[in-house]
């Protein structure tokens, strides 16, 4: 889209003449991204990347598209402009009506559920969607679904079949190509159902949530390999994503190499492997990865044309091969900002690490430092009233405003750290953070994702679903036992339509628990 359209002079001239183009950083403005993506799904039946949404001057969305080739994109722009010139009032009124219908959709029409009903529906839905051969859920793409995994790992009464599926999923994720076996860390997802072809981006939140999951799984299932994966993931984050200027972790490591090709920093051609390995090591790799077997074509192409492979552990000589194939850390492009909420998730991972290895002083030191930095960012050590930022730049400049997600994840991280270290100093701070979050984001219409929505359709919700990240509303709702499942709870009714999307509510207690 960039090469065919964004850098094309004809497209640029037409856009500048008839439209105001705005590029959204979805990580700095997750609520706006969530709202526009949801509109795209409703309007066109799908959403993806790069997503384009057309809005009226008043901020009402009315059309969405993803990738279009150059000529088609030009035709689409001209068609939109023609429709706008011929009858702008019709577009505005139709867009307004659609938003009004969504905003006033009566929540009372949804079936109210008790905790027991939700749990029954949740496990019934899960059993129908489990991929019992490859792990994960039955989808074309395979996402880690970390909130789902974490909720199941902390659920006390899993059946034997549920435990088997959970172990299978965790094993597949660490053994197949969701994990980078050379440089460390987990990729964001795979584009196939067998965990073989990753989208090569690595997100901080993926590492934090999966490290926490593997620490818990190691203890629950007595699996040393799970513990190794958890520790290795922490090590990857510390080596690749730590920014000493901010004392925080960067948000991601790029899928795109410095030449602009996806996966270039992770894929190896035969020529590169021969140059990096000695004869015995190359022969081992050739045997295990089928480098020279014509009936096993290369699974990837590097820089669009050269056959390439993504290394996996070999039967022999693996340690030597792994060491020689590690890319220089600074060669891999990174996002330069550090998002506070995602660092809160990382603090939760350190809390689980300390529980697993209480004598590991490095985990204590890193966790204490991160907790202090997050407290400073949320003004808990200065007592100031101004809002915390969403993120910090690489040079430690504040960026954006903290969202409900940031408050929730930092609150959870500090609470987990308090539990792991038995440090009661956080008690009052946690109460203040919860109070501030409710004051900023909780309204008569439910939870707002951001305290200052930009568009008229960004309304509140009683329960925000999980996605790749846990539900921020679940974190606060589940700190108040019994309230969420009360008979008049509007939030609980949202869980009836798609229970797996609300996995973070699975362990939300009753007042009788």
Residue 106 has a pLDDT of 46
Residue 177 has a pLDDT of 97
Task: Answer whether residue 488 shows pLDDT above 60.
Answer: no
Mean pLDDT of 159-167: 97
| Bigger pLDDT: 470 vs 113 | 470
| Bigger pLDDT: 182 vs 107 | 182
| Bigger pLDDT: 102 vs 22 | 22
| Bigger pLDDT: 390 vs 491 | 390
- Do residues 474 and 505 make contact, with C-beta atoms less than 8 angstroms apart? yes
Strands (E), 336-462: 338-339, 391-392, 398-399, 442-443, 446-447
Neighbouring C-beta atoms of residue 360, cutoff 10 Å: 15
Residue 260 has a pLDDT of 86
pLDDT over 70 for what percent of the chain?
A: 95
β-strands 198-199, 248-249: how paired? Answer: unpaired
The Cα 484–Cα 509 span in angstroms is 8
- Do residues 309 and 330 make contact, with C-beta atoms less than 8 angstroms apart? no
Asked whether the bond before 50 is cis by omega within 30 degrees of 0, the reply is yes
Question: 103 pLDDT band (50/70/90 cuts)?
Answer: low
Q: In sequence order, what DSSP letters do the residues of 45-106 get, joined into one string?
A: S---SS-EEEE-TTS-EEEEE----HHHHHHHHHHHHHHHHH-HHHHHHHHHHHHHHHHT--
- Do residues 245 and 395 make contact, with C-beta atoms less than 8 angstroms apart? yes
Q: Select, from the ranges 55-69, 210-224, 441-455, the one with the highest average predicted confidence (pLDDT).
A: 210-224
Task: Answer whether residue 511 shows pLDDT above 60.
Answer: no
Q: Which domains does the chain have, with CATH numbers?
A: 2-105 (3.40.30.10), 270-326 (no CATH)
Residue 108 has a pLDDT of 46
| Bigger pLDDT: 302 vs 480 | 302
Residue 101, classified by CB atoms within 10 Å of its CB into exposed (0-12), middle (13-18) or buried (19+), is exposed
Question: 3 pLDDT band (50/70/90 cuts)?
Answer: confident
pLDDT tens across 104-144, in order?
A: 554 444 567 888 999 999 999 999 999 999 999 999 999 99
- Do residues 476 and 438 make contact, with C-beta atoms less than 8 angstroms apart? yes
Q: What is the mean pLDDT of the chain?
A: 91
């Amino acid at each position: 889209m960039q090469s065919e359209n964004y850098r094309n002079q004809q497209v640029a001239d037409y856009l500048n003449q008839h439209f105001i183009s705005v590029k959204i950083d979805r990580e700095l403005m997750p609520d706006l991204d969530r709202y526009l993506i949801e509109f795209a799904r409703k309007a066109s039946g799908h959403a993806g990347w790069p997503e384009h949404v057309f809005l009226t001057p008043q901020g009402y969305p009315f059309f969405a598209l993803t990738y279009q080739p150059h000529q088609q994109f030009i035709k689409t722009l001209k068609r939109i402009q023609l429709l706008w010139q011929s009858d702008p009032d019709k577009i505005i009124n139709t867009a307004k009506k659609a938003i009004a219908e969504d905003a006033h959709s009566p929540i009372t029409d949804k079936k109210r559920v008790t905790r027991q009903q939700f749990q029954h529906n949740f496990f019934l839905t899960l059993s129908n969607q489990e991929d019992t051969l490859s792990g994960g859920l039955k989808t074309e793409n395979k996402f880690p679904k970390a909130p789902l995994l974490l909720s199941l790992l902390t659920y006390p009464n899993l059946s034997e079949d549920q435990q088997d599926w959970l172990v299978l999923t965790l094993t597949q994720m660490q053994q197949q190509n969701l994990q980078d076996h050379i440089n460390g860390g987990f990729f964001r997802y795979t584009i196939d159902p067998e965990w073989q072809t990753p989208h090569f981006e690595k997100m901080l939140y993926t590492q934090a949530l999966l490290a926490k999951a593997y620490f818990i799984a190691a203890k629950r299932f007595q699996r040393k390999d799970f513990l190794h994966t958890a520790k290795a993931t922490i090590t990857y984050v510390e080596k690749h994503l730590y920014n000493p200027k901010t004392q925080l972790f960067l948000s991601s490591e790029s899928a795109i190499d410095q030449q602009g090709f996806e996966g270039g920093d992770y894929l190896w051609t035969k020529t590169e492997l021969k140059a990096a390995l000695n004869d015995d090591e190359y022969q081992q790799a050739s045997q295990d990865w089928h480098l020279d077997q014509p009936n096993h074509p290369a699974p990837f192409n590097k820089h669009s044309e050269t056959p390439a492979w993504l290394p996996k552990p070999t039967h022999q000589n693996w340690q030597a091969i792994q060491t020689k194939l590690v890319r220089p850390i600074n060669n891999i492009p990174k996002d330069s900002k550090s998002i506070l909420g995602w660092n809160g998730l990382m603090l939760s991972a350190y809390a689980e690490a300390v529980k697993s290895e209480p004598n590991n002083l490095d985990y204590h030191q890193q966790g204490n430092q991160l907790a202090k930095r997050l407290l400073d960012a949320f003004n808990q050590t200065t007592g100031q009233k101004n809002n915390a930022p969403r993120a910090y730049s690489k040079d430690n400049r504040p960026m954006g405003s903290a969202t409900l997600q940031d408050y929730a994840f930092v609150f959870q991280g500090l609470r987990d750290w308090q539990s792991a270290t038995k440090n009661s100093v956080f008690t009052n701070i946690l109460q203040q953070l919860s109070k501030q979050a409710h004051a900023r984001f909780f309204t008569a219409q439910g939870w707002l994702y951001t305290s200052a929505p930009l568009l008229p359709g960004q309304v509140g919700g009683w329960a925000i679903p999980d996605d790749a990240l846990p539900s921020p509303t679940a974190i606060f709702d589940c700190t108040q036992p019994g309230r969420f499942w009360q008979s008049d709870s509007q939030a609980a009714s949202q869980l009836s339509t798609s229970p797996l999307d609300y996995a973070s509510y699975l362990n939300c207690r009753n007042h009788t628990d």
